Structures are given as C-alpha cells and as structure tokens.
Amino acid sequence: KIYRINTASFKHVMQYIQGDERFQGVSHDKRGLVTAWCQKEYRNLLRLREAGIAVPEPLKASLNVLVTEYLGKPEGAWPQLRLVEPKNPKRLYKQAVDDYVKAYNLADLIHADWSEYNVLVENADGPEATWRLRMIDVGQAVIKNHPMAHEFVTRDIKNMVRVFRKWGVDAKPTDVIDQLIHERSRRKQPDAEAELDEEEEDDA
C-alpha cells in the first residue's frame, strides 16, 4: 500500500492525527503527514491483531509504504462486504459488532470510517458458514480518548446498522452501544475484584 496525499487531503488527514497522543509533534508538511499516516495504520493493525481481530497482518512500514498480508486468492482479493448477498446476514452482523466491540474495548481504538467498503468477506466463494469479515483500511482509526471519539463512534455505528438493515437484520444503534458499554463494564469488574482482595489482605 503506497500512500499519496495531495494538498486537498491535509484537512481530512489532520482530523485523525491531531488529538492522537501517539502522534504529537508530527510535522505538518506533506512528507511528514504521509509518513505519520503510514505508521499510524501499521500500529493500528498491530493493536487490532493483538486484540484478536481479523485484520491483515502488518509486515513492515517504511516512509510512505505499508506491506501487509494479502487478503484473497491468486485470482484476486476477497470482495468488499457491499458486493456480497448473504443468506444469513444476521451472522455477519454479529461478527461485525463483535469485532467493533473488541476494537473499542481491547485495542482502545475506534475505526472512524467503518463502511461496507472497508470490510472484506474472506472465503466469499465458499459456503456461507465459512465466511469471515476482515476489517481493512484502519489508517484513520483513533484512540478512544480522541477529541472526536464520540462523533466517530456514532458515525461508525450508524453505517453498520444501515448496511445490515438493508439485508433485513433488525439492527439498532442502541444494541451496539449496549454491547460496547457491557463489555467495558465486564472487563473492569476483575480489576475491581482484585482491588477488593488487596484491601481485604491489608485489613488482615
């Protein structure tokens, strides 16, 4: 993947870099932005894979070139989600939501551009039970404390719901939000229990 950013793209790119503490002090010239964007996608892919999400494996990032795992077959890449017609879209919807919740709560990342264009369907030419969604294009993904985090999450969820509703899935934004909150609360619980155990030991 080779990144080329023209002058008209600067404003678009900066909204995803400014506010990300990982990229403070990045040069605002074209070369600096291109390099930062490439490194951003590489590091986002690493975090997402560590969280157990099926994104392409990042292999190397150098200047404006990112090398990743190829998602597809010798004849061509796996199709975008927009190009398939699932018979059981509810199953794919669950995959999409589960991956988004993992990204948010385990990788501390918000995709910020989720759409049917940025998700591939692995094994789309095989039995539908073997289909697997693969999230791609995560260069713009931001950490959860980004100043525009709420706006990005809201937009992502609206897009996800829109995509699956057209296939008849009873998708609701509140359902996705509830899962985000529930998983966050569940993950915090062991920490709270550990703190209580430590307090009890101190009292003893």
Contact 19, 146 (CB under 8 A): yes
Virtual torsion, Cα 55, 100, 159, 91, nearest 10 deg? 90
In 69-147, the DSSP E strands lie at 72-73, 76-77, 109-110, 119-122, 132-135, 142-143
Burial 68-78 (b: 16+ CB within 10 A, else e): beebeeeeeeb
Catalytic sites, residue numbers: 113, 137
